[in-house]
Structures are given as C-alpha cells and as structure tokens.
Amino acid sequence: MELSERKKRLLAAIVERYIATGEPVGSKTLVDALGLSVSSATIRNEMAELSALGYLEQPHTSAGRIPSDAGYRYYVDYLMGRYELPPNEKRLIDAKLEPAAGDARKVLENAGHILAEMTHCAAVSTTPADEAAVVRRVELVPIGVRTAMIVMLTSSGLLKSRICKTLSELTVDMAESFYNIVNANFIGKPAAAMTVAKIQTLAVSLGEKSLSMTPLLVALADVAAMTERTELLLEGQSNLLGYREYEQNAYELIEFLRRAEAMDRVFSEHPSSENGNLHVLIGEENLFRELQNSSMIFGKYAIAGHESGTLGLVGPTRIDYARLIPSLRYITEIVGKILSENVEE
C-alpha cells in the first residue's frame, strides 16, 4: 500500500508528535507544527483518508487522531529515521558494562539498568543459556574442612559454581573419586546429561563410598541444572508507572513481565528476526493479552556466535521507536561481545 508523499509526511508527524506529547493530534496543530501552506481542512481530508486506511484512530469524535497499531507499524517499517547512536551514549554504555565483564549476570543487570534509564521503559533480559553446550571442565575447590565449591565450565563459556557441604571430612581420596567420576562420565558430554537420576545410579555403583560422595554429586547435578536454567531479569518496572496508559493496569503488566515462563514463550514465539536482528511487536501484534496495549522490542545477544539470551524493552505503544531501536541494538551487540570475551578457543 503506497501512500502519497504528503500522507507519509503527515503520518510520520502525527506519530512523532503523539509519541512526544501523548495527546491526540488535531488538524490545526499539525498545520502549525509542520508549517504547511495548506489549510487545516485539506489536512482533515487527508487525515480522514488515513483513518479509513486504518493508520489512525480517534479516541472520540471531537478529539484529534492518534496512530493505530497499523500506523505505528507503517511508521516503523517505512517512515522512521534510522539513526546511529551518538558516540557519547555509546561510551556511557561501554563504561557501564565493561567493569562487570567477569560476571555474566552482572553484565545483564547493568545492561538492564542502563536500558531502563535511557529509554524510560521496562527492560527484560535473560541470562545466557545454551542447551547444546557440553561440559568442558569441572573443578572441586576445597573451602573448609567439610566445605567445597564446585565450579563448572561449559563449551559455550558459561561458568557456574555452588557451595557444597559434605557429611564427613573432605579427603584427598574423595576428591580423587570425584574427579574420576566426572572425567569418566561427564566431561565432553552435554550438561543436560548430568541428571539427578544419572547421579543416583552412579552413587549406587560406588558401594560403601556412596554415602560420603552423595552430597558432592548432588551439588554437581545442581550446578549442571544451573547452566540450563536461565534467569529472567527485570529492570525499570517503575518506569511504567509514569505513563498515563498504565495508570490502572500497571500491576497486571508487571506481574506478567516477572513470570519467566511467560516471557520465555514470548521470546521463543519469534525465533528469527528481520529488523537488523531486533523484533518489534506493536500492541495487538503481541500474542499475549497482557502485552496487547504495549509495545515490545527485543533481540538476542550472541556469545561466540551462538544466540544465548534475550534483551528486551517494554513500554506503551507510544514509545520512541526511532531512538529505542538503535539503543537496544547497540546494547545487545556489546553484551554479546563482552560475554564472548570469556570464551576461549
């Protein structure tokens, strides 16, 4: 559907003005704002046509127009200026993320922070996970007489650790058994294979040693489970409270965003991507009722080439797409880059 140049110009102006002010835009305002040399009546005719095409709607007869979901969609796809993030904002982001480099979760927390701050939206993210990863290394670090730390590294560069208390004193013998079991059964295999069931059969085969080894093996299974289970991080929930559109129902939306299974479904329903690897879901384009008067932008970050997690923004449909998209794109890129640093080979 090709619109006339003037219609495009008007639609863009209406979207941008509505994004900025949050108030319906009238024909008169528009003429003034654009400095057009035609009368408001002409603009009214154009606006009526844009309404008929479904790009604009009216809250009520005597109000101005606001963009419909389709209107935003047209704006995002064809009209929006594609602009590059200014260097000082890039530096700000880098400075916030770099220092956390050692800790993946922290990197994502910081990314959420700065996204929320820059965009006044809620920022969601998932910690990295990679189901295809295999166990590359397991270490048992003695911490005390009966306490040890189990550290596990996967091929995708994820590092997880956990404290573990043993029933009896931790001996060199036990450590040796532990490494033997790990090397024989788990190294080079998927972390997912390290199930509690598997651990139990192993424990049985250990005979008398089993009793003392069990806590170590249980903890090991637990660490393995951690590499698969992603965590959902949510930042800037309170930003949503500032928008008129959420005056009544912020609660429902926020509760939805906090539910990990729900968000996982949202993210996985849209596996591939078009817009420079970001997804833009506007209003009713969202599959979940709770999101249908919001817009969501999200993308995957890649660790060493593998898509490992998601970063996203949620706000009212009236968000500044032109600004948010480049911001989010840059941050997903940098997050991927930083998290890839810890992966070797």
Partner DNA sequence: ATTAGCACTCGGGGTCAATGAGTGCTAATG
Partner DNA sequence: CATTAGCACTCATTGACCCCGAGTGCTAAT
CA distance 125 to 297: 11
The CB-of-29 to DNA minimum distance in angstroms stands at 6
The CB-of-333 to its own copies minimum distance in angstroms stands at 20
Q: Kindly tell me which of 51 and 210 has the beta carbon lying closer to DNA.
A: 51
Q: Kindly tell me which of 18 and 178 has the beta carbon lying closer to DNA.
A: 18
Binding of its own copies by 159 (CB under 8 A) = yes
Binding of its own copies by 261 (CB under 8 A) = no
CA distance 57 to 291: 20
Instruction: Give the HSE-up count for residue 338: Cα atoms under 13 Å, Cβ half-sphere.
Output: 25
Polymer length in residues for the chain? 345
Which does residue 162 touch among its own copies, DNA, none (CB within 5 to 8 A, set by kind)? its own copies
The CB-of-52 to DNA minimum distance in angstroms stands at 9
Binding of its own copies by 162 (CB under 8 A) = yes
The CB-of-71 to DNA minimum distance in angstroms stands at 14
Q: Kindly tell me which of 66 and 303 has the beta carbon lying closer to its own copies.
A: 303
For residues 30, 247, 54 and 31, what is the CA-based torsion angle, rounded to 10 degrees?
0
Which does residue 5 touch among DNA, its own copies, none (CB within 5 to 8 A, set by kind)? none
**β-strands 278-282, 232-235: how paired?**
unpaired
CA distance 145 to 148: 8
Q: Token digits for 159?
A: 């590092």
- Residue whose entry in the numeric block shows the structure tokens 């009212």: 316
- Residue whose entry in the numeric block shows the structure tokens 């059969």: 201
H-run or E-run covering 160 = strand 159-165
CA distance 51 to 247: 27
The CB-of-322 to DNA minimum distance in angstroms stands at 23
Q: Determine the residue type at 190.
A: P
Binding of DNA by 21 (CB under 7 A) = no
Choosing from 114, 123, 133, 164, the residue that interacts with its own copies (CB under 8 A) is 164
Choosing from 45, 171, 183, 249, the residue that interacts with DNA (CB under 7 A) is 45
Residues of this chain that interact with its own copies (CB under 8 A) are: 101-103, 137, 139, 141, 143-147, 149, 151, 153, 159, 161-165, 219, 222, 237-238, 241-242, 250-251, 254-255, 258, 341-342, 344-345
